[in-house]
Chain A
Amino acid sequence: MIGRIAIALLAVAASTGLGRAADPRYPDWPCAQAKVPEISLAAVWAGPPLDDVQGKWKEDARITALVEKLAARRTSLDDAQKAITDFLAASAGDKTTAGKLLFTGLFDSLNAQRSSVMNGIERVTRKQREAAERIRADTLALQALQSAPSPDQSKIDELSNQLLWETRIFEDRQRVVRFVCEVPTTIDQRLFALGRTIQQEME
């Protein structure tokens, strides 16, 4: 019974992402959304060039504090946009520089956040592949035990139990991956929306 469940499960896993990477460049990427390893500046920023302020946002304590607040997903988008408006209104003297610094800070921070989520997703895929191998091996071992001339019931029970846990963890992780696949997009969305607010306030 357990063996049958495990085999069915593996069939499902094989057909839904695990082992079937759509993009040959990223064999460990399990999501339906095609992988874009990092956000390009040109995709999210149509404002003035940022070359002259690259990396400088970290030197300004007010900017670093604000970037940290705005990049955190617990800050609602509405609150974040209001904070940008307030901050840029207060930097009337040099709104353009302040806006550019703030955006480079957000770009660096959110891109880093996004990379770490994507690395995590790929790590889980590799773990799942190993788990699938283990389940396959244990299933075969269980079948061998069951078909032995004098089956050892205690060993069968032990291995069945182990298989049950392995498959449960496997299934849970599959569900989580599907959910986590949405996170990089949520970060893209946030960066774009905040960038748009900064550009509007700078104009």
Chain B
Amino acid sequence: MWRRYLLSGTVLWLAAAAPASAFMAYVSNEKGNTVSVIDTDSWTVTKTIKVGQRPRGIEFSRDGKFVMVAVGDDDTIQVIDAKKQEVVDTLPSGPDPELFAQDAAGKVMYVANENDNTVTVIDLEKRARIGDVQVGVEPEGMTISPDGKILINTSETTNMAHFIDTSTRQIVANVLVDARPRFAEFKHDGSELWISSEIGGTVSIIDPVKHVVTGKVTFSIPGLRSEAIQPVGIGMTKDDKTAFVALGPANRVAVVDAVSHKVTKYLLVGQRVWHMAFTPDEKYLLVTNGVSNDVSVIDVAAQKVIKTIQVGELPWGVTIAQP
């Protein structure tokens, strides 16, 4: 009898202690020149990794073994070994890399170099530069279409989204969006391309085949000046039904019905919310708050902020390994 109690107790204890969904989130701290590692089970920072100057764009390699981080002021991309949790290598980008995108296979990487109006193409296996694409002034946002055929790059100065054919590396179309486009995100089914405009205060919905703007997501928060609404990061659920848009100094993340393109809710997070990443099970969404130096955790189903985690100075990007 006692033994049975004891045993079932142990089982319970084990069940409670075994992490249901422990993922590691990596956050780049632009001013702190560090990367914070967050355990999504305990929601604590378990390690702070020293990296180069001005880390911004950050992403896991497709195999989940490495974290790549663009360190703009060092004109390179550093490679962090996720097991060792330290910088083990660098990749050859152009000057002032900010953001980058990988193809579906994780073999080719495209880097937006803010200072020389180019996108650098890198072979990830050889870790070598294999080419450049001339794009608009101050390239910013980067993404690849789900079929891998088109690379999207946004230009901060010309307010355009450039469509680049990944096989010929030539620009095949330019689409004008609102002022200071920041970030580009495809729906998983490839039917729509969303582009946020920081100063324009909108998200443009683009038909990726016809290359035209078909709609716009607009934002309005009672009591808040329109200038404070600066859309940047976009996160789309895998079913393409719900999108989350970070609104910068509005200190809010908008929940958008991705079918009707209407905002359904605004979630109060930290200051100057910038980029975001889902946990692989899509239970949580982590967003970086650059001015309050923290990360907010959003419960995706409940559409509620459940936690705030202090990280380094000026958190910018976040990435979580996909299983």
Contact = CB atoms under 8 A, between A and B. Distances in A.
B310 to A, nearest CB: 11
A35 B227 contact: yes
Given A22-B179, A34-B198, A36-B249, A192 B225 contact: no
Given A23-B199, A34-B199, A40 B292 contact: no
Nearest to B223: A42
A193 B251 CA distance: 13
Contact of A22 (B199, B223, B248): B199
Interface string B208-252: 000000000000011111011010000000000000000011110
A40 B223 CA distance: 7
Nearest to B252: A43
A116 interface: no
A192 B292 contact: yes
A185 B227 CA distance: 14
Interface in A43-98: 43-44, 46
Interface in B162-192: 179-180
A44 B271 CA distance: 8
Contacts of A34: 180, 198-199, 227, 230, 248
Majority SS at the chain B contact face: loop
B130 interface: no
Nearest to B270: A192
A42 B221 contact: yes
A166 interface: no
A189 B292 contact: yes
A37 interface: yes
A39 B179 CA distance: 21
Nearest to A40: B224
A8 B103 CA distance: 41
Contacts of B248: 34
B291 interface: yes
Nearest to B230: A34
B251 A37 contact: no
Nearest to B314: A185
A12 interface: no
A189 B291 contact: yes
Nearest to A46: B268
Interface string B25-40: 0000000000000000
A42 B291 contact: no
Contacts of B180: 22-23, 34
A138 interface: no
A35 B227 CA distance: 7
A37 B249 CA distance: 12
Nearest to A24: B179
A188 B271 CA distance: 8
B292 A43 contact: no
Given A22-B199, A34-B180, A43 B224 contact: yes
Contact of B251 (A25, A35, A44): A44
A41 interface: yes
A43 B179 contact: no
Nearest to A188: B291
A34 B156 CA distance: 12
Interface in B287-316: 291-292
Contacts of B222: 42
9 contacts: A22-B199, A23-B180, A34-B227, A34-B248, A40-B224, A41-B223, A42-B221, A42-B222, A188-B272
- Return the 7 tightest CB-CB contacts between A and B, nearest first: A42-B223, A40-B224, A42-B224, A36-B227, A36-B228, A43-B251, A189-B291
Interface of B: 156, 179-180, 198-199, 221-225, 227-228, 230, 248-251, 268, 270-272, 291-292
Interface of A: 22-25, 34-44, 46, 185, 188-189, 192-193
